[in-house]
Amino acid sequence: MLLSCSQSDADIVDGSPVMAFETTLVHLTAGKDTFTILAEVARSAEQRTMGLMERRSLPDSAGMLFLYTDDQPGTAGFWMFRTRIPLEIAYADSAGRIVSVRQMVPCEAQLAAGCPTYEPGKAYRMALEVNAGALSRRGIGVGSRLWVSALPASRVAR
């Protein structure tokens, strides 16, 4: 599965999202250290497709959490079509254990087909995108834990 979207630059105002996202606190643990970020939650297919496209910046303490009701195969990756900032993505299983972390670079291709796909290689239930290096600088990697304080009331969409 590839995640993508099409929209015009005219739909973007100062890198702000053009779609509404709920937010929640996401906690990441490596050893005895815990790192917390405020994440926008992408539940619906439309939100997951939009993701962080066209954003010009992302605060260091922010990110986007992609949620799924079922496990996604290790071949279901993300791409960076029309994503303007370098990102790091952590894929986590249903228990919140991080199974893969990938560095993703903006794709300059004019067509989505020209962008590489960043696959985790393992099944996952959640994916968290943050600024490139934000996880690795804090020692967050495979085997680290990810958990959500509380999700807003709406249910996870398929």
CA dihedral 66→67→73→74, nearest 10 degrees, is 40
- pLDDT number for residue 33: 93
Q: Which CATH class is domain 21-148?
A: mainly beta
Q: What is the pLDDT of residue 6?
A: 33
For residue 91, which of 41, 17, 143, 150 has the smallest C-alpha distance? 143
* pLDDT, position 131: 97
Provide the residue-wise pLDDT of the chain in tens; the chain has 158 residues. 334 333 333 333 345 556 789 999 999 999 899 999 999 999 988 898 888 888 899 999 999 999 999 999 999 999 898 889 999 999 999 999 999 999 999 998 888 888 999 999 999 999 999 999 999 999 999 999 999 988 765 544 43
CA–centroid distance for 137 within its chain: 17
The residues, any chain, with a CB within 8 Å of residue 10's CB and separated by 6 or more, are none
CA gap 28, 121 in Å, rounded: 21
pTM value > 0.85: no
